């Protein structure tokens, strides 16, 4: 009876271990947007190589330690004919020296790829790198392209094959810029400039997230990175440099001013009084795929939901509930959706 119970317990534990292994492998092998094991930049592959080398070292340690543990359990288990107290042993100089030296050698083995990768990632960015100022807000991201005079929000466009040099800043609390498939995370520390550079290679969309607890809506401080072909990036730059297709006499812009949006947001066109940078620049907001720092897809329904009560959708949002009437919301949604 005891043996059957032990066998059943062992089977359950083995099943749990196998299921955990399968789950872990499926998550790693899947094309998960927040996975670090499918890097799309040379710099990301350097980090991945460090992970891989350390993983094999740790796996070797696990096999040796567990093997010795199983050997000790089986070799020195209590047998039916055992009587009295086993032989008592106090200390073993050889073993003690061994388990002091071996961990030192393990740490040295781990430090080699780590230092090699760290040095490789600290090389200065290329002279032709694209400079982008990344400003962490509560709770959204501002992206400024100083070479082109463009300011946008929450969607970062980069050309494939050209190094991106991101200058990271925050004027409030500590944030952390992280796009798992492109590069390791880097903190944005108030009053202290930080930099991060990498070379995206594969065109497509990548998911980013603030990786430092920064307040009530930290979990909703996401963003997206669009890696364009060089031709797509050039076209995007030209579209973003163009002024908004609106004017002072536009009924939508009048509704924008009457609702008080002008106090925090920019919409760029000749003679525009909307020049504030407290909130995201809205000059081409209709062309973005998401709103509210990737909280929602950019659809009329979601935009209306956001305008009605921002603090309800993002706790602590600095954008207040403006108590807009339904007709005001409808007018603003139509207007903003057409700013492309």
**Is 236:150 a contact under the CB 8 Å cutoff?**
no
Question: Residue 143, exposed/middle/buried by CB under 10 A (0-12, 13-18, 19+)?
Answer: buried
Q: What domains can you pick out in the chain, each with its CATH number?
A: 31-75+92-123 (1.10.287.90), 130-237 (2.60.40.420), 251-337 (2.60.40.420)
Alpha carbon distance 210, 234 (integer Å): 28
In terms of Cα–Cα distance, which of 225, 280, 271 is closest to 244?
271
The mean pLDDT value for 21-43 works out to 73
pLDDT at 307 over 80: yes
pLDDT at 29 over 60: no
Please report the pLDDT score of residue 293 as a whole number: 95
In terms of Cα–Cα distance, which of 228, 227, 210 is closest to 219?
210
In terms of Cα–Cα distance, which of 219, 257, 228, 237 is closest to 335?
257
Please report the pLDDT score of residue 2 as a whole number: 52
Please report the pLDDT score of residue 302 as a whole number: 97
Name residues whose C-beta falls within 8 Å of residue 182's C-beta, 6 or more positions apart in sequence: 39, 40, 41, 44, 198, 200, 206, 225
Percent of the chain with pLDDT over 70: 91
pLDDT band at 109 (very low <50, low <70, confident <90, very high): confident
Please report the pLDDT score of residue 175 as a whole number: 97
Can you give the pTM of this predicted structure? 0.83
261 DSSP assignment: G
Mean pLDDT of the chain: 90
pLDDT band at 88 (very low <50, low <70, confident <90, very high): confident
3-state secondary structure of 132: strand
Alpha carbon distance 221, 318 (integer Å): 13
pLDDT digits (tens, 9 = 90+) for 158-206: 999 999 999 999 999 999 999 999 999 999 999 888 999 999 999 999 9
In terms of Cα–Cα distance, which of 128, 13, 113 is closest to 53?
113
Please report the pLDDT score of residue 26 as a whole number: 54
In terms of Cα–Cα distance, which of 166, 138, 110, 169 is closest to 279?
138
Alpha helix stretches (DSSP H) within 213-325: 230-241, 251-258, 300-308, 310-313
């Amino acid at each position: 009876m005891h043996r059957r119970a032990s066998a059943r317990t062992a089977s359950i534990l083995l099943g749990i271990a196998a299921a955990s292994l399968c789950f872990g492998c499926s998550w790693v092998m899947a094309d998960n947007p927040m996975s670090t094991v499918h890097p799309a930049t040379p710099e990301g592959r350097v980090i991945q190589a460090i992970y891989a080398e350390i993983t094999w070292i740790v796996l070797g340690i696990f096999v040796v330690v567990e093997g010795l543990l199983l050997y000790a359990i089986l070799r020195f288990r209590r047998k039916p004919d055992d009587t009295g107290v086993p032989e008592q042993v106090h200390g073993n100089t050889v073993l003690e020296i061994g388990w002091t030296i071996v961990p030192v050698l393990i740490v040295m083995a781990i430090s080699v790829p780590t230092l090699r990768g760290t040095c490789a990632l600290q090389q200065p960015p290329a002279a032709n790198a694209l400079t982008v100022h990344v400003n962490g807000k509560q709770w959204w991201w501002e992206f400024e392209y100083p070479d082109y005079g463009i300011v946008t929000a929450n969607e970062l466009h980069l050309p494939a094959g050209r190094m991106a040099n991101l200058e990271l800043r925050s004027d409030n609390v500590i944030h952390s810029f992280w796009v798992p498939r492109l590069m390791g995370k880097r903190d944005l520390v108030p009053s202290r400039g930080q930099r991060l550079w990498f070379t995206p290679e594969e065109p497509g969309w990548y998911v980013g997230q603030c990786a430092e607890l920064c307040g009530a809506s930290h979990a909703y401080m996401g963003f997206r990175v669009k890696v364009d072909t060089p031709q797509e990036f050039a076209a995007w730059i030209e579209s973003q440099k163009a002024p908004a297709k609106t004017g002072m006499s536009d009924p939508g812009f009048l509704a924008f001013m009457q609702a008080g949006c002008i106090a925090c947001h920019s919409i760029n066109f000749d003679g525009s009084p909307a020049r504030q940078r407290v909130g995201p620049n809205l000059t081409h907001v209709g062309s973005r795929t998401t709103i509210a720092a990737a909280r929602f897809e950019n659809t009329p329904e979601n935009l209306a939901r956001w305008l009605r009560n921002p603090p309800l959708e993002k706790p602590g949002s600095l954008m207040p509930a403006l108590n807009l009437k339904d007709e005001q919301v409808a007018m603003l949604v139509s207007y903003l959706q057409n700013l492309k």
